[in-house]
Chain A
Amino acid sequence: GQSLEQPSEVTAVEGAIVQINCTYQTSGFYGLSWYQQHDGGAPTFLSYNALDGLEETGRFSSFLSRSDSYGYLLLQELQMKDSASYFCAVASGGSYIPTFGRGTSLIVHP
């Protein structure tokens, strides 16, 4: 089967940098996605990594190491509006249904 592990909660202060880790176990791995969900809102796509390395999109970056079955989401210059839940999701061969992690609640303090 497939499984993902990510921390349940991370706290940081405004302006800081925070990293949310995700480790996974799956077969036929295609790539790792990240989604953001504010309280009461819909998950929205942030990034997708299929190859090893760092993908940067503004203040957010996502990293993947296929050999370590590990990835992370890096948020820089944290803002209060970044307080949300962040989900990693695994896409794997033969399955059109991505598997989502349980989510990490990011709390940004002033």
Chain B
Amino acid sequence: GAGVSQSPSNKVTEKGKDVELRCDPISGHTALYWYRQSLGQGLEFLIYFQGNSAPDKSGLPSDRFSAERTGGSVSTLTIQRTQQEDSAVYLCASSLGSGLSTDTQYFGPGTRLTVL
């Protein structure tokens, strides 16, 4: 079946503009994660959704970042008033959502965000 998809694959924006990044998880996966990966760095956790529960937003770096997940499926990560330090690859992953961190995560191809 189809894997995790993300759009756009690349986004170039000007400092101060808002951007929206989209993630379509694997059908049937109830858990969805957003990560940020800067050049040559590891994966920085941003936010986690599990079913209809309130999301875990503990990784969001500032209040300029927000995310929502509609109908338990598609998720959108919004960055307001972008800054140059927001430039990174934003990765989305989904998992079956057993509620345990042992779930295998399936990653999308990422969105490369460049803030000029």
Binding site for B on A (CB under 8 A): 30-31, 33, 41-45, 48, 50, 87, 91-92, 95-103, 105
The listed residue (B40, B91, B103) touching A43 by CB distance below 8 A is: B91
How distant is the Cα of A92 from the Cα of B110 in the complex, in angstroms? 26
Give the A-B pair count, Cβ closer than 8 A: 57
Which chain B residues lie closer than 8 Å to A91 at the CB level?
100-102
Does B65 belong to the interface (CB within 8 Å)?
no
The residues in B between 51 and 71 inclusive whose CB is less than 8 angstroms from any CB of A are: 56, 59
The B interface is mostly helix, strand or loop, or mixed, namely: loop
How distant is the Cα of A97 from the Cα of B101 in the complex, in angstroms? 6
Q: Are B56 and A100 in contact (CB under 8 A)?
A: no
The listed residue (B42, B93, B109) touching A41 by CB distance below 8 A is: B109
How distant is the Cα of A43 from the Cα of B106 in the complex, in angstroms? 8
Q: Are B42 and A100 in contact (CB under 8 A)?
A: yes
Q: Are B102 and A87 in contact (CB under 8 A)?
A: no
A-B contact pairs, 15 of them (CB 8 A): A31-B102, A41-B109, A42-B91, A42-B108, A42-B109, A43-B105, A44-B107, A45-B106, A91-B102, A96-B48, A96-B103, A97-B33, A99-B45, A100-B43, A105-B40
Decide: A45 near B91, CB < 8 A? Known: A96-B31, A100-B42. no
Q: Are A30 and B100 in contact (CB under 8 A)?
A: yes
Which chain B residues lie closer than 8 Å to A92 at the CB level?
101
Q: Are A87 and B48 in contact (CB under 8 A)?
A: no
Which chain B residues lie closer than 8 Å to A97 at the CB level?
33, 45, 48, 56, 59, 101
How distant is the Cα of A97 from the Cα of B48 in the complex, in angstroms? 8
How distant is the Cα of A44 from the Cα of B50 in the complex, in angstroms? 21
- Min CB–CB distance A26 → chain B (angstroms): 11
The listed residue (A30, A102, A105) touching B101 by CB distance below 8 A is: A30
- Min CB–CB distance A105 → chain B (angstroms): 8
Q: Are A96 and B105 in contact (CB under 8 A)?
A: no
How distant is the Cα of A103 from the Cα of B50 in the complex, in angstroms? 26
